[in-house]
């Protein structure tokens, strides 16, 4: 006897839901019981991978999705995942999304993985989809018409990868229609139509902004991002050519990962000082604005191009426990290679370092761990490492990982130099890994 036939329909539907829709439909050939079972699966998963099969004909894909949606009988369409080739007609995609949005749709992922001749537009039905919880749009989409009635009352996760807005007004209207949005991941590319990108979402808790532009298309000081999200807990920004500014304080911010070519101390006023964990890759500051006190900061990760910031911030971090230096890397997106280098013109940017006039409070009372990744033993790096050993009274461990290009004799010299440095803490262990 076929053991799988003894399983309940609910369990069989869970099994079918783990398959692509094409494979799920194929099971209808097994027996009468399986004939209509696929029609009740709560997921539509269609992968039109023509680059793997050049003999695939687009009309077959279109016809399959059309029939699936026509015959589908599940009361809730839990998720729709569409990955299509450039030959897929935008109007077909718009129709599929429109039909799906009328089926109690909760999660939508749509990607055209190779550029087509025409952009894809969202159907009007989707802008008022009351059940949508997660929306993930990957490339080739343009939002040039957003109705005044736009409302996503359930939308909590929004991912926009290389999606274009036709104007700042359209972008503002779109985000204002997301009253409960908690997670926003935004990747901008070239040929974007916006100068100032404003993100005003009071409910937002996690925000990631990645700008892949190789240069600004709009010269001037008004090119950048404006953030109005007072409930943020996590913030990631990787932006090479534009600025970023917050209109409000972020009292709940826990984690911030900031990577900017240009930055000044004004950016810390009110919105970064509440964070517990901060990662920075910034050019030396060009102003002398007061930083404020990072009263909650316990972990600081600095790119080796940002030692000037280290000297400034160190005097304002009374609770700092973990300090890490490394050549900054940010994985932007699953489809985008990580930035292997910081935005500085060379790796060994920092050639000088001036120690503080007095020993910062955190060195005397709280700093316990120092880690240095990709240590090259430059004069600036050596001075910083020695200063920390000499002045950190509570330091328990300092771990040094030399750069991959360092040979054994150079590693030995580095170890000898640091090992001979007097240590303020008798508990400190120095290790090379």
Contacts by residues 158-161 (CB-CB < 8 Å, ≥ 24 positions apart)? 158/134, 158/183, 158/184, 158/185, 159/135, 159/184, 159/185, 160/184, 160/185, 160/186, 160/187, 161/111, 161/136, 161/137, 161/185, 161/187, 161/333, 161/335
Within a domain: 381: no
Within a domain: 64: yes
Q: Are residues 29 and 102 in the same domain?
A: no
State residue 282's pLDDT score. 77
**pLDDT for residue 132 is more than 90:** yes
Higher pLDDT, 60 or 323: 323
State residue 253's pLDDT score. 93
Q: Are residues 169 and 311 in the same domain?
A: yes
Within a domain: 288: yes
| Nearest-10 Cα torsion for 103, 105, 108, 110 | 10
Q: Are residues 75 and 188 in the same domain?
A: yes
Q: Which of 71, 16, 61, 12 is nearest to 43 (CA)?
A: 16
Within a domain: 373: no
Of the candidates 307, 335, 352, which is a domain's last residue?
Answer: 352
State residue 340's pLDDT score. 43
Q: Are residues 255 and 322 in the same domain?
A: yes
Packing angle, helices 379-391 and 307-314, rounded to 10: 20
Which of 46-55, 69-78, 86-95, 385-394 shows the lowest mean pLDDT across its residues? 46-55
Which of 117-126, 239-248, 251-260, 322-331 shows the lowest mean pLDDT across its residues? 239-248
Within a domain: 363: no
Sheet strands (E) in 229-288: 234-239, 243-246, 255-260, 277-282
Tokens describing residue 56? 């695939």
State residue 403's pLDDT score. 86
pLDDT in tens, 29-85: 666 667 677 777 888 888 876 545 554 555 456 677 887 778 777 888 889 998 888
Q: Could you tell me what percentage of the chain is helix, strand and coil, using 3-state DSSP and rounding each to the nearest 5?
A: 25, 25, 50
Residue 163 belongs to domain with CATH number = 3.80.10
**pLDDT for residue 201 is more than 50:** yes
Within a domain: 25: yes
Residue 191's domain spans which residues? 44-352
Q: Are residues 296 and 318 in the same domain?
A: yes
Within a domain: 53: yes
Q: Are residues 25 and 94 in the same domain?
A: no
302 neighbors 309 (Cβ within 8 angstroms): yes
State residue 76's pLDDT score. 84
**pLDDT for residue 99 is more than 50:** yes
Q: What does each C-alpha distance from 314 to 220, 297, 322, 408 come to in angstroms?
A: 33, 11, 12, 33
d(CA 177, CA 29): 45
Confidence tier at 347 by pLDDT (50, 70, 90): very low
pLDDT, mean of residues 153-168 = 93
Within a domain: 389: no
Confidence tier at 346 by pLDDT (50, 70, 90): very low
Q: Are residues 305 and 214 in the same domain?
A: yes
**pLDDT for residue 425 is more than 70:** yes
pLDDT, mean of residues 312-330 = 84
Q: Are residues 27 and 149 in the same domain?
A: no
Strands 255-260 and 277-282, by their bridges, are parallel
Q: Are residues 85 and 139 in the same domain?
A: yes
| Nearest-10 Cα torsion for 298, 303, 307, 312 | -40
pLDDT, mean of residues 397-421 = 90
pLDDT, mean of residues 134-160 = 91
d(CA 319, CA 363): 9
pLDDT in tens, 204-242: 999 999 887 655 555 455 667 889 999 999 999 887 656
Confidence tier at 259 by pLDDT (50, 70, 90): confident
Of the candidates 290, 318, 352, which is a domain's last residue?
Answer: 352
Q: Are residues 56 and 117 in the same domain?
A: yes
Q: Which of 253, 235, 233, 254 is nearest to 244 (CA)?
A: 235
- CA angle 380–383–388, rounded 5-degree value: 130
374: left (phi over 0), alpha (psi -120 to 50) or beta: left
State residue 97's pLDDT score. 92
Domains of the chain: total = 2
State residue 11's pLDDT score. 77
Q: Are residues 201 and 183 in the same domain?
A: yes
Per-residue 3-state assignment (H helix, E strand, C coil) for 140-155: CEEECCCCCCCCCCCC
Strands 369-375 and 224-228, by their bridges, are unpaired
Sheet strands (E) in 14-141: 43-47, 79-84, 107-112, 134-138
Q: Are residues 222 and 336 in the same domain?
A: yes
């Amino acid at each position: 006897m076929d053991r799988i036939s003894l399983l309940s329909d609910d369990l069989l539907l869970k099994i079918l839901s783990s398959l692509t829709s094409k494979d799920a439909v194929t099971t209808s050939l097994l027996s009468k019981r399986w004939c209509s079972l696929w029609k009740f699966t709560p997921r539509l998963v269609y992968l039109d991978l023509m680059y793997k099969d050049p003999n695939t004909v687009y009309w077959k894909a279109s016809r399959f999705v059309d029939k699936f949606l026509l015959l589908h009988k599940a009361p809730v369409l839990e998720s729709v995942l569409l990955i299509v080739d450039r030959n897929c007609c935008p109007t077909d995609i718009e129709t599929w999304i429109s039909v799906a949005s009328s089926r109690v749709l909760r999660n939508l992922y749509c990607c055209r993985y190779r550029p087509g001749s025409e952009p894809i537009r969202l159907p009007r039905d989707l802008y008022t989809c009351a059940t949508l919880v997660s929306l993930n749009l990957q490339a080739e989409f343009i939002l040039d018409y957003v109705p005044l009635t736009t409302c996503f009352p359930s939308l909590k996760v929004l991912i926009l990868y290389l999606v274009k807005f036709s104007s700042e007004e359209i972008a503002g209207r779109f985000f204002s229609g997301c009253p409960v949005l908690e997670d926003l991941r935004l990747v901008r590319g070239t040929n974007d139509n916006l100068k100032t990108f404003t993100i005003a979402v009071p409910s937002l808790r996690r925000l990631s902004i990645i700008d892949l532009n190789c240069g600004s298309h709009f010269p001037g000081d008004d090119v950048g991002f404006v953030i109005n999200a007072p409930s943020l807990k996590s913030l990631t920004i990787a932006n090479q050519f534009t600025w970023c500014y917050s209109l409000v304080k972020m009292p709940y911010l826990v984690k911030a990962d900031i990577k900017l070519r240009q930055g000044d101390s004004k950016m810390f006023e009110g919105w970064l000082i509440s964070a517990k964990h901060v990662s920075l890759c910034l050019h030396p500051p060009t102003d002398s604005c007061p930083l404020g006190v990072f009263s909650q900061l316990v972990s600081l990760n600095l790119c080796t191009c940002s030692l000037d910031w280290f000297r400034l911030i160190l005097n304002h971090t009374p609770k700092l426990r973990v300090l890490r230096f490394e050549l900054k890397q940010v994985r932007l997106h699953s489809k985008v290679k990580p930035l292997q280098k910081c935005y500085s013109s060379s790796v060994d940017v920092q050639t000088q370092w001036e120690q503080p006039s007095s020993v910062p409070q955190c060195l005397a009372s709280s700093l316990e761990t120092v880690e240095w990744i990709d240590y090259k033993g430059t004069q600036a790096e050596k001075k910083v490492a020695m200063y920390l050993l000499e002045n950190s009274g509570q330091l328990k461990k300092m771990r040094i990982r030399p750069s991959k290009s360092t040979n054994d004799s150079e590693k030995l010299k580095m170890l000898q130099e640091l090992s001979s440095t007097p240590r303020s803490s008798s508990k400190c262990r120095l290790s090379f890994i």
